[in-house]
Structure 1
Amino acid sequence: MASRTLYQALAGTRKQLVVAPRTWMRTLSTAQGTPAAPESAPTLESLVPPTDALKKPIRRTINETVEPITPYNMTIAKLLAAGLHLGHSTSLWEPATLPFIFGTREGLSIINLEQTLVYLRRACNVAREIAVRGGTILFVGTRPGFQDLTIDAARQCEGYHVSGKWIPGTLTNAHQVLGRHAPPDPEDPGRAPKTYKPDLIVLLNPLENKIAISEAQLHKIPIIAITDTDYDPRRVTYPIPANDDSIRGVELIAKVISSAAKDGVFRRKHMLDQKVKETKFNRNENNFSRR
């Protein structure tokens, strides 16, 4: 009887010794590499973008994703990518542009972009200071392909634009040319409407607007202009040596100057708000002291 009990105990112990390794192997295999559950296949609705994204214009989407261009993040690499270093043929070379030329290659004059960046920043400082002082800025771009970028640059900084033909006498004979478009005086409707002259002109194609330059010089209005290697930079107040045939490059320069002017407009509004707050504060203090 005792031997049978001992035999059963030994048999149970043997079963445990045999089963244990199998359990351990099963646990190890489960921990090492159990195939994951298959993911659900994408549906057709998940692949289609939402309706709001489809209605959004592509140009607005690109403008939101791209970093805004300002005078502070402008580099020579961006000017080079826009093609602003390519000048005209050496046969059309203007000797006055010699300080701005880096060299020649295959019959073309190459503009030194280091000079372009320096003169562009100077023009941005001028536009910013004029906007801070409450001056008006006029963007002029009459060449085909420049109309849209001229209008966008003017709207960005709350300025004015001339995207069509420059009418002779716009500045020298403003009452006859612009008088019919000016609103009448509410206090005296019989008086001739008053016209205003810009404090700064940003000229994107000076070669086709010699009359505008002459009128601005008569009225002593400063001019910022893009001067290529075939144009005399001494005819304008603030030249920017660059390629004026590249639409992409001209748009880049116009955006940079417009952003600088927009910064000046923002600073002016901030200064005016501060003055109004200080005036109200001083008035309240005077009223309190009188009591």
Structure 2
Amino acid sequence: MASRTFFQAFANAAPRRFSNAPFVCTRSITMSKSLLNTESVPSTTTTDTLVPPADLLKMSMRRSGTTTTTTTPYNVNIAKLLAAGLHLGHSTSLWEPATLPFIFGTREGISIINLEHTLVYLRRACNVAREISLRGGSILFVGTRPGFQDLTIEAARQCEGYHVSSKWIPGTLTNAHQVLGRHASPDPENPGRIPKTYKPDLIVLLNPLENKIAISEAQLNKIPVIAITDTDYDPRLVTYPIPANDDSIRGVELVASVIASAAKDGAFRRKQLMDQKEKQSRFSRSHPQRY
């Protein structure tokens, strides 16, 4: 009854009388100094003060999109590999016994890949790609599975390499004059001479199960191969295996971009060394030593 009469008096009170009369409450309320400062609190609260403007929202969305960091060999970790789904292998019925050291266990009939081994082998492959690019070698990315074409081309463009995204033609390496000779540019000094073809120094194979011919030709020409090996493929058939899920497009894109970033880093270091040697040669020519 007392609370009801209090609220009735509160509703019937005049505004002028209520503003002059002190507010009485049975409980003591402690307020901070910031709340007691009437200058910082707006007098009227509207929807404009509560909702930020649209331009500010668009700007924050652009900033959040631009601040996303790309995965490189220096910041790749197990969490990123796990988010890309690289730990999911094939069914245990398709298990290859040679992949036993890379398997963490099985769950619901599916082999689980140990991402600690994946990270180690991925970093080793990055070191190989960086060293070959540093020495001026060429890298060939091969990804012929549907859905791998765009990421294969993008990885090759990132490190200024080459790519095969449609189909591996048998004899591309063992019979290069017949397969690639018609696409090579003729010699300007002697147009009648057979065009010269070149072979890659490293092959990055994204789906080795469908490109066994490419692996055989690389072995005959002694070309090292980096390949993503799932639990249904023998990792001993390639030079530098990376135990991971080869069915995840996101995971394959992550592996290809990390290797391409390492190759790009090697090419950048090579350019720096060449510029430094050129500066030293210019300095030695302009300042000859006197004995």
Q: TM-score, normalised by structure 2?
A: 0.80
Task: Classify 1:283/1:39 alpha carbon distance in 2 versus 1 (closer, same or farther; 3 Å).
Answer: farther
Aligned to 1:263: 265
Aligned to 1:147: 149
Q: What SS does the corresponding residue of 1:221 show, helix, strand or coil?
A: coil
Task: Classify 1:186/1:104 alpha carbon distance in 2 versus 1 (closer, same or farther; 3 Å).
Answer: same
Aligned to 2:101: 99
Matches within 5 A, 1:132-171: 132-171=134-173
Aligned to 1:47: 54
Task: Classify 1:104/1:184 alpha carbon distance in 2 versus 1 (closer, same or farther; 3 Å).
Answer: same
The residue type paired with residue 239 of structure 1 is P
Structure 2 gap ranges (5+): 1-35
Post-superposition Cα deviations, 1:38-89, rounded to whole Å, max 9, x if no partner, equal 69959xxx6368x9x9xxxx9xx94x43112111111111111111000000
The residue type paired with residue 111 of structure 1 is I
Aligned to 1:184: 186
Aligned to 2:15: none
Q: What SS does the corresponding residue of 2:181 show, helix, strand or coil?
A: coil
Aligned to 2:254: 252
Aligned to 1:12: none
What's the offset of the Cα at 1:192? 1.2
Task: Classify 1:264/1:32 alpha carbon distance in 2 versus 1 (closer, same or farther; 3 Å).
Answer: closer
The 1-side partners of 2:271 and 2:232 are apart by 40
What's the offset of the Cα at 1:33? 3.0
Post-superposition Cα deviations, 1:107-166, rounded to whole Å, max 9, x if no partner, equal 011101000001000000000000000000000000000000000100000100001010
The 2-side partners of 1:157 and 1:75 are apart by 22
What's the offset of the Cα at 1:37? 6.2
The 2-side partners of 1:38 and 1:137 are apart by 66
What's the offset of the Cα at 1:187? 1.7
The residue type paired with residue 240 of structure 1 is I
The residue type paired with residue 218 of structure 2 is A
Aligned to 1:223: 225
The 2-side partners of 1:32 and 1:82 are apart by 51
The residue type paired with residue 33 of structure 1 is T
Q: What SS does the corresponding residue of 2:70 show, helix, strand or coil?
A: coil
**Does residue 33 in structure 1 map to residue 38 in structure 2?**
yes
Aligned to 2:14: none
The residue type paired with residue 38 of structure 2 is G
* Higher Cα Rg, which structure: 1
Q: What SS does the corresponding residue of 1:91 show, helix, strand or coil?
A: helix
Aligned to 2:281: 279
Q: What SS does the corresponding residue of 1:87 show, helix, strand or coil?
A: strand
Post-superposition Cα deviations, 1:170-210, rounded to whole Å, max 9, x if no partner, equal 10111111111111112211111111000000000000000
Q: 1:206 aligns with which of 205, 208, 215?
A: 208
The 2-side partners of 1:197 and 1:233 are apart by 24
The residue type paired with residue 232 of structure 1 is D
Q: TM-score, normalised by structure 1?
A: 0.80
Higher helix share: 1
Q: What SS does the corresponding residue of 1:179 show, helix, strand or coil?
A: helix
Percent identity at matched positions? 76
C-alpha RMSD of matched pairs (Å)? 2.3
The residue type paired with residue 181 of structure 2 is G
Post-superposition Cα deviations, 1:208-255, rounded to whole Å, max 9, x if no partner, equal 000000100000000000000000000000000000000000000001
What's the offset of the Cα at 1:36? 3.9
